[in-house]
Amino acid sequence: MKVLMFGWEFPPFNTGGLGTACYGLTKGLSKQGINITFVIPTAPKPIESDFVNLIIASCTSFLDIKRVSSLLVPYTSSEGYAKTYKSRYFNKNFGNIYGQNLFDEVNRYAMKAREIAINETFDLIHCHDWMTYLAGIEAKKASKKPLVVQVHATEFDRTGGHPNQAVYDIERMGMHAADLIIAVSNFTKNKIVKHYGISSEKVFVVHNAVEFRSFPDTEEFKIKSQDKIVLFLGRITLQKGPDYFLDAAKKVLENEKNIKFIVVGSGDMEIDMVERAAKLGIANHVLFTGFLRGDDVDKAYKMADLYVMPSVSEPFGITPLEAMRNGTPVIISKQSGVSEVIKNCLKVDFWDIDEIANKIIAVLKYNALHHCLKEHGLIEIKKFSWNDSAKKCIEVYERALNKS
């Protein structure tokens, strides 16, 4: 089976879980014998070294990669796009290649997709999240092949229930144009059925996964201090609940002093969060590291005594699986897809600051609890495999092919 896939940049060049999920899934699929032509929007990089290309080539040898010059990046907003566009336009003088706003660019990308669809041979189209939906629709029109869209997040998740109408419209259009839909969790499936007018028989859940790797415990990962470390790692945006993390930190610090709270990531709420920490009077206990990638992410998990994911609305949430893989206990929001698939963790409502603080203190204070979460978490995480997700994905492909 040959699949034309519209996806996103792989680790370590990703900006979030979408790239990680694309990488894991495509790797699993190709192991199951699926041929994938993988289309990625790629912005021209100021300095693109051979080394970088080499890495990309070596870790993605299982794919036929088509790069389409575009300023699209996952998670961007109209404002974010305008900024990028402006800096590129004025600094590099690219002329009128790129769309003047985000939606123009999404449309332009779709037209490029049409060209690719005409020139390539494939059995099925698979695209990931709203920015590629129009591309998928155009490819379907041009090729008459079935379209599967995969929902990694909806506009409702990203905006805390206040969707941008234009984004919502594209999402809705993509979901209705698709022959079948893949949701990364039941949590997301319910949102698709509830908010997008899709019948539940059309939506199939394929949970994300993580591959177990063992990382050595070396001195390198130890912080030279008696303080315990509680980690937040994710985009610093409303969706991820960084404000709840800081409010819980404040409660914890009222009871226990020797704790550092580390915030890893970047995002539109970063400045607000630095200010919030200062306002709460806990700035000396909160460290902001900025965005980390590659091995540094695993190092961060290793250093931490506890990982907290207080997301307001998390379609899946791969990061807790990565933390557990590193032997780090996790507290996760019940408003998440990942809470459907892991047991050996602590679950909280994202708004329940008291309960988050209670559980943070418990994990840091009771070695037995920390130890049980760690050991049972490691056993549990070894059961995950992208091959299982890929197999489920192939079942959806087969269904879509039989349907048309």
Partner 1 sequence: MLDLLNKHEEFKISYSFSGVILEQFEEFMPSVLQSFRDLVDTGKVEILDETYYHSLAFLHSKQEFKEQVILHNKKIRSLFKQNPSIFRNTELVYNNELANFVESMGYKGILAEGAYTPKTTSRIKLLLKNYKLSDDVAFRFSDRSWKEWPLTVNKYTSWINAVNGNGNLVNLFMDYETFGEHQWADTGIFNFLRYLPQELLKHPDNDFKTPSEAIKTYNPVAELDIHNPISWADIERDTSAWDGNDMQKSAINEIYLIEEAIKKSKDKKLINDWRNLQTSDHFYYMCTKWFNDGDVHKYFNPYDNPYDAFITFMNILNDINFRLKENNTLKKEVVV
**How crowded is the C-beta side of 41, counted as CA atoms within 13 Å?**
21
Cβ–Cβ under 8 Å, residues 183 and 192: yes
CB of 346 to partner 1, least distance (A): 6
Cβ–Cβ under 8 Å, residues 71 and 84: yes
CB of 342 to partner 1, least distance (A): 10
Cβ–Cβ under 8 Å, residues 40 and 66: yes
> What are the backbone dihedrals phi and psi of residue 62, each rounded to the nearest 5 degrees, phi first?
-80, 0
* Distances, alpha carbon 210 to alpha carbons 28, 171, 321, 333, 404, in Å: 11, 27, 6, 19, 32
CB of 362 to partner 1, least distance (A): 4
Residue among 16, 70, 23 at smallest CA distance from 266: 16
Among 347, 382, 391, 392, binds partner 1 (CB under 8 A): 347
* Distances, alpha carbon 201 to alpha carbons 133, 161, 225, 249, 394, in Å: 20, 24, 54, 42, 17
- Is residue 366 close enough to count as binding partner 1 by CB under 8 A? yes
Contacts of 37 (CB under 8 A, 6+ apart): 2, 3, 4, 5, 63, 64, 66, 116, 120, 122
- Is residue 369 close enough to count as binding partner 1 by CB under 8 A? yes
Closest to partner 1 by CB, 93 or 367:
367
- Is residue 376 close enough to count as binding partner 1 by CB under 8 A? yes
Among 45, 90, 343, 402, binds partner 1 (CB under 8 A): 343
Closest to partner 1 by CB, 344 or 385:
344
Q: Which stretch binds partner 1 (CB under 8 A): 174-182, 263-271, 293-301, 342-350?
A: 342-350
- Is residue 358 close enough to count as binding partner 1 by CB under 8 A? yes
Closest to partner 1 by CB, 277 or 341:
341
- Is residue 352 close enough to count as binding partner 1 by CB under 8 A? no
Cβ–Cβ under 8 Å, residues 76 and 43: no
Closest to partner 1 by CB, 287 or 372:
372
- Is residue 373 close enough to count as binding partner 1 by CB under 8 A? yes
Residue 216, preceding bond cis, omega within 30 degrees? no
- Is residue 255 close enough to count as binding partner 1 by CB under 8 A? no
Closest to partner 1 by CB, 194 or 371:
371
The greatest distance separating any two alpha carbons of the chain, rounded to the nearest whole angstrom, comes to 64
Closest to partner 1 by CB, 31 or 376:
376
Give CA–CA dist 323/302, Å, rounded. Answer: 8
Closest to partner 1 by CB, 120 or 380:
380
Q: Which stretch binds partner 1 (CB under 8 A): 157-165, 184-192, 291-299, 339-347?
A: 339-347
Closest to partner 1 by CB, 106 or 346:
346
Residues 89-128 that bind partner 1 (CB under 8 A): none
Q: Label residues 63-79 b or e (16+ Cβ within 10 Å = b).
A: bebbebebbbbbbbeee
Cβ–Cβ under 8 Å, residues 144 and 124: no
- Is residue 378 close enough to count as binding partner 1 by CB under 8 A? no
Q: Which stretch binds partner 1 (CB under 8 A): 34-42, 237-245, 296-304, 363-371?
A: 363-371
- Is residue 54 close enough to count as binding partner 1 by CB under 8 A? no
Cβ–Cβ under 8 Å, residues 93 and 66: no
CB of 210 to partner 1, least distance (A): 18
Among 93, 96, 165, 367, binds partner 1 (CB under 8 A): 367
Among 211, 268, 272, 380, binds partner 1 (CB under 8 A): 380
Q: Which stretch binds partner 1 (CB under 8 A): 75-83, 259-267, 291-299, 338-346?
A: 338-346
Cβ–Cβ under 8 Å, residues 367 and 360: no
Binding site for partner 1 (CB under 8 A): 343-347, 358-359, 362, 366-369, 371-373, 376, 379-380
